[in-house]
Structure 1
Amino acid sequence: MGETSPVGNDSTTLTAFSDEVFSDIRRADQRRWARAYLSGLLITPGNKSVRRLAHHVSSSPTAAQSLRQFVSTSPWGWDSVMSKLTRWAEGCKPASAWTIHRVVIPKSGERSVGVHRYFDPLASRTLNCQLGIGAFLSIGSVQVPVDWRLYLPAPWTEDTQLRRRARIPDTVQYRPLGGQMLDLVDTLTSRTARSSVPLVTDMSDTPEADSFVRGLSRRERGFVVGLPSYLRVWPAGDGAPPARVLISAGKFMAGARSVDSVRVTTEDGRQWSTRVRSGLVRLPGGRAAGPPDGPFRLFAEVTEDERPEQLWITNLTHRPLDEIMSLTTLRSSAADSIDTMKRDFGLGDFEGRSFPGWYHHMALVSSAYAYQQLAVSD
């Protein structure tokens, strides 16, 4: 494949990492190209197009074509790579929490798999983009991506021509956002050594937040989840009305009497004090009109004029509020990791249009980021 450039001064460490994470890729030539792509992501400045990656890792005139074929069309399993990466990351240090976070990948045109019009609440505008859902392990102060799902709107799963063009497997069908996130939870539970750690995610802009919370509760998964203020809840604490009167989470929180001063601590050791209002609630049963779920603690940081800000819900009702509030900071940590992967590791630079190619690229980007953060930075 031509001469390959080393990464920094520790190519031996990179080789050992590559050998471990890509060990389930059956063919030796594919494993070599996996390491080359990984090396390219680590050392290529700027845009991580296949041509630029090839230029930085090989002197072969056919390297770009081989790399493109490896990531876009070669039949290797990305799931096994992500599973190996999960075990490698946990071998560096046990995870203290899981985080699920969405990533918006802007795209021009309509041919990239999964591309659709999506209103991004952070950008406050509608974008033509792919929407990815990432699962992260909190390893010390680092958020390590260990699995992904590409959100496919119904037209992409219902149109036979689109499916064939993007090489979407027959087993992949439309699933709402919350269902895909629960699938990530199930996958991590089956993979990780510490499956009892809490999950943190933000569903404050998602109508499926209540069904997602119920799904976590029925899996007996500890969680801290951001909620939309319009979600309906039943007051459940002391002084709650005897009749079950549904009210919005925002209205409940505005009237909650308990205000505590808490100390927030981030994973990297930063601390500050804030005031938090909280109270116990239950969620009404699902479509089967079953019994309510809970009790859960609904809580929010309050401003100086006593207005509640972002609403959160947790089933970790017996843990200190300082600890629960600190877990909410993982949302911004995951967002920062995604920004770094976009800027320095080519997260949004995949030029191919196929479903397998997207997952291959995300597995390789995740591997490069994990290696840089846990093997090189330490």
Structure 2
Amino acid sequence: MVASYETDRPNPVNEGLTTSAEDVSLLTFTTNIFGHLPRVDQRRWAHAYVTALLRTKGKKSIRRLADTISPSPAATAQSLRQFVNLSPWDWRPVLHALTRWAEGHGPVTAWSIGRALLPKRGEQSVGVHRQFDPSSGQTLNSQLGLGAFLRIGTAHVPVGWRLYMPHSWINDPRLRQRTRVPETEHYRSPWSHALGLVDALAAASASSPVVADMSDDPDVRLFIQALNERRHTLVVAVSPHFKVIPGERSASTASLLSAKTCLSSGTVRDVIVAEPDGAQRRTRILSAPVRLPHFRPSTAPERPHQLFAECGPGSRLGPVWISTLPERRLSDAVSLTALTTSTTSTITAMARCFGLLDFEGRSFPGWHHHMALVSTAYAFQRLGRSRPPMPPRLGASEPDQRASA
């Protein structure tokens, strides 16, 4: 029998969670983040779940979380499981509140987009499909999550998630019904999900440079064009085969060249760049001014772009990037590229220490609940105990346009 979830029944973990100053701080934090939830018991279970994520060592299974916080782990585990998988609360206000809270801990110097590959056994979990994992070199059954991160000091705070749903899931009514995929959910490519994350941030936060590694996305040009239409500053990794127009020529498709070809006749220069931890280093880059062809109608004025890549040993080029920062600010653009590595490190830390990979459910709402809870726990651990030092702001952006449970 599933433990009762109504507000008139006691929460078995209400007692004993707020005995120290840090516990009180955590309770204040979760009250802020989950204060919109309509029922008292939902807010209590949210606090209990985040507390358990922070306190439980090793794998964050529901049973282990319950063992950490409750003298009645069996009943508590059932209630925690129901809270994540079945309770009808909206995760979007949680992430919005988390964004506002994180912004109170220092200036946001960039928005970065990261990808989380979540391996799954079997094919029952929502959105699971065969996908190549670069870290292991294997093709795995996995879910693909795209996340938005605020760079605050040296921290990368996760404040938004989207679950990529392949055509095989979107077009199968049986799978959709079984995993409670909303009727409003239709197919979106990874770049479209990334753009949705940027739009959500733009509606809630002052604009910052957008940093993303899209080098494996064949439609990255659509992502870049959409960011340009919204007047965002961007630093985006692209394929060496990405087609551009060299120099300051008018945006026609007559002189399209690959990014690698354009860089081969570019300018070599040494720049001083800032590392994510505030340290500085000197590096050599190859850069070239380019413009983008328009493959779809656009009313946005054409913007100049800088193509660049770091020069490695033996003049070997590193990843290719494109940015709307002007040539005189290429050092800022190069500095921002390091944020993709930091974002990946954050996702790894969330997987190892905060239960990112330990979701015990299969539904669409449950997945988003889990990601919101893990993000909340990570944010408190990273920012809730201290204010990190603030490195210089890089790449100031141009002005942009800005469910209940």
Shared topology, TM-score over 0.5? yes
| Residue number among 36, 54, 65 corresponding to 2:66 in the alignment | 54
Q: Which stretches in structure 2 are left out of the alignment for 5+ residues?
A: 1-10, 388-405
1:253 paired residue number: 263
Q: 1:317 is matched with which residue?
A: 326
Matched, 1:369 2:378: yes
**Preserved CA contact (<8 Å) 1:227 1:312:** yes
How far 1:282 sits from its partner (Å)? 1.1
Q: Which of these residues, 180, 184, 187, is aligned with residue 193 of structure 2?
A: 180
- Tell me if the contact between 1:237 and 1:279 (Cα under 8 Å) persists in the aligned partners: no
Provide Cα deviations, 1:121-146, integer angstroms capped at 9, x if missing partner. 34333121000000000010000000
After the TM superposition, which residues 1-378 of structure 1 pair with which residues of structure 2 at under 5 Å, given as runs?
1-3=11-13, 4-6=15-17, 10-60=22-72, 61-192=74-205, 194-195=206-207, 197-237=208-248, 244-256=254-266, 258-288=267-297, 293-317=302-326, 319-378=328-387
Q: 1:308 is paired with a residue of what secondary structure?
A: coil
CA distance in structure 1 between the aligned counterparts of 2:341 and 2:92, rounded to whole angstroms: 26
Counterpart of 2:400?
none
**Whole-Å separation in 2 of the counterparts to 1:202 and 1:96:** 17
Are 2:272 and 2:281, in contact at CA under 8 Å, matched by a contact in 1? yes
Q: Secondary structure at the match of 2:217?
A: coil
The alpha-carbon distance between structure 1 residues 137 and 205, as it changes in their structure 2 partners (threshold 3 A), is: same
Q: Indicate if the aligned counterparts of 2:248 and 2:291 stay in contact, CA closer than 8 A.
A: no
Calculate the aligned-residue CA RMSD, in Å. Answer: 2.0
Alpha-carbon distance in structure 2 between the residues aligned to 1:23 and 1:63: 21
How far apart in 2 are the matches of 1:46 and 1:367?
A: 18
User: Structure 1 residues 73, 279: closer, same or farther in 2, change over 3 A?
Assistant: same
- In structure 1, what is the Cα distance between the partners aligned to 2:138 and 2:12? 45
Q: Across the two proteins, how many residue pairs are aligned to each other?
A: 373
Which digits, 9 at most, give the CA deviation of each residue in 1:196-247, with x for residues without a partner?
x101000011101111111111110101000001111110249x9x994111
Identity %: 47
Residue 100 of structure 1, CA deviation: 0.3
Output one character per residue of 1:105-128: Cα deviation in whole Å (capped at 9) or x when no partner.
Answer: 111100011000112334333121
Q: Tell me how far 1:293 sits from its aligned partner.
A: 4.7
Q: How has the CA–CA distance of structure 1 residues 122 and 282 changed in structure 2, closer, same or farther, with 3 Å as cutoff? A: farther
User: Cα–Cα, structure 1 residues 299 and 315, in superposed 2: closer, same or farther, change >3 Å?
Assistant: same
Q: Give the Cα–Cα distance (whole angstroms) in 1 for the partners of residues 106 and 327 of structure 2.
A: 26
In structure 2, distance between residues paired with 1:209 and 1:124: 23
Q: Distance in 2 between matches of 1:319 and 1:226?
A: 19
Instruction: Confirm or deny: 8 A CA contact 2:228 2:300 kept in the other structure.
Output: no
How big is each residue's C-alpha offset from its partner over 1:25-76, in whole Å with a ceiling of 9 and x where there is no partner?
1100010000000001000011101111111111224100000000000000
Aligned counterparts of 2:275 and 2:162: Cα–Cα separation in 1:
27
Query: In structure 2, how many angstroms separate the alpha carbons of the residues matched to 1:243 and 1:75?
Result: 50
1:18 and 1:314 mapped to 2: Cα distance?
38
Dislocated runs of 4+, deviation >4 Å: 288-293
The answer as to whether partners of 2:306 and 2:327 remain within 8 angstroms in 1 is no
2:161 maps to amino acid:
W
SS in 2 for 1:52: helix
Equivalent position amino acid for 2:336 in 1: L
TM-score, normalised to structure 2, is: 0.88
Whether the 8 Å contact between 1:167 and 1:356 is mirrored in structure 2 is yes
Amino acid at match of 2:67: H
Structure 1 stretch displaced more, 43-52 or 293-302: 293-302
Q: Which runs of 5+ in 1 are unaligned?
A: none
Structure 2: distance between partners of 1:372 and 1:344: 11
- 1:281 and 1:294 in contact (8 A); partners too: no
Q: Distance in 1 between matches of 2:227 and 2:188?
A: 17
Deviation at 1:289, TM superposition (A): 9.1
